[in-house]
Amino acid sequence: MAGGATRRLAGSIAFATLAEGTAVTAPSTVRDNRAEAEFELVVDGHKAVAAYQIEGDTIVFTHTVVPPEVEGRGVGTKLIRGALDQVRDKGLKVVPQCRFVRAYMEKHPETRDLLL
């Protein structure tokens, strides 16, 4: 993540905070930041991300970042739902390397057709 953000990984789940002075509005929609290879969702000034790698017509979700300040509010679920909607629109297949994405897809059978 750019802009002075910090990241602490715990397994495949990570936590992030925005750099001091970063102005964002909440709630927002899920955005594909291709330059950073992350889907992003900003809530109350905190950016959650789902990092990925594109390999041909496949997207590999590598980890999910949900700041502790917004945990337990469905931010990760909204992020992954929005990311998978965009993945579907692009005609990509999914490899859910991230355990959070994998768990989401297991709980939502309507997404299973995206699996490689």
Please report the domains of the chain, with CATH numbers, ordered by start residue.
6-114 (3.40.630.30)
CA 11-13-15 angle, to 5 degrees, is 120
DSSP type of residue 18: P
For 3-60, what is each residue's pLDDT tens digit? 444 343 333 333 343 444 333 334 479 999 999 999 999 999 999 999 999 999 999 9
What's the confidence (pLDDT) of residue 77?
97
Q: Phi and psi at residue 34, in whole multiples of 5°?
A: -65, -35
Q: Which residue has the tokens 């929609």?
A: 29
CA distance 60 to 100: 13
Q: In the chain, what percentage of residues exceed pLDDT 70?
A: 77
Average pLDDT value for residue range 79-89: 98
What's the confidence (pLDDT) of residue 28?
72
pTM: 0.77
CA distance 88 to 85: 5
